Amino acid sequence: MAEPTVPLGEITTTHGLDGRVKLNPFNLDTAVLVAGRKVYLDLANAHAELELAADAKPIKNQFLIKLLGIDRIDEAQRWVGATLSVNESALEPLNPGQYYHYQVIGFEVFDKDGARIGIIESVLSTAGNDILVVKEAEKEFLIPAVKEIVEKVDFDSRRVIVNPPQGLLDL
C-alpha cells in the first residue's frame, strides 16, 4: 500500500522563464520544502512525481519553488492549479496535543452536552489562531481552535468536543 500523502498547497502561477512556480501554502510555517524532497502534483487530468531542485524561497505569503525536470515556463504553466503534496513521513513530528490540519478534516464536532454541531470541512489559519470550519446541512460555523473553546480532540472516535461561548453558534 502506498504511503499517504499530505497536501501542502496549490500552485498559483509561474515565475520567470526557467520553470519556477509560486505555491500558495496551506501552512506558511512548513519546513519540508527542501531540495531533494519528493513531491506530488495533482490536477484533475494529470499527476506527477517530481523532486524539488532547491529549497523553497518564501515570498510574501507564498513560496517560490523549482522542480527538477520543469525548466521552461510552458512546462510550468501546465501545473498551475495543481495541488502539491508530500509523503506523510516527510512532516515534522509534533508535540503531544498538537495535530496537523488535515488530520481533523471529517471529524464530527459536538458541544460539551453532546449535541452534534457538524463536521469539520477545513481549517483556516489566521494570525491569531486557527478556525475550524464546521458544516451541518445548510449552516456553516466558524469555531476558533483555542484551548478555551476546544476541550478535546479525540482521534480514536474522530470527534472534537467544544465549549463555545454563548452566541457563537448563532452567528
Q: What is the DSSP string of 54-90?
A: S--EEETTEEEE-BTT--SHHHHHTTTTPEEEEEGGG
Name the band, by pLDDT with cuts 50, 70 and 90, for residue 124.
Answer: confident
Predicted local confidence at residue 101, as pLDDT: 86
CATH of the domain at 144: 2.30.30.240
Domain ends where: 35, 59, 90?
90
We report the CATH number of the domain holding residue 61 as: 2.40.30.60
> How far is CA 32 from each of CA 91, 154, 158, 160, rounded to the nearest angstrom?
7, 27, 26, 28
Query: In this predicted structure, which of 39-53, 123-137, 147-161 has the lowest mean pLDDT?
Result: 123-137
Which pLDDT value is given to residue 102? 86
Which candidate, 128, 67, 88, places its Cα nearest to that of 5?
88
Query: Both 81 and 18 in a single domain?
Result: yes
pLDDT at 100: 84
C-alpha cell at 25: 501554502
The dihedrals phi and psi of 152, each to the nearest 5 degrees, come to -155, 140
129, 163: one domain: yes
pLDDT grade for 1, boundaries at 50, 70 and 90: low
Percent of the chain with pLDDT over 90: 73
Q: Which of 159, 156, 105, 157 is nearest to 130 (CA)?
A: 105
Can you tell me the mean pLDDT for 140-148?
94
Domain that holds residue 42: 5-90
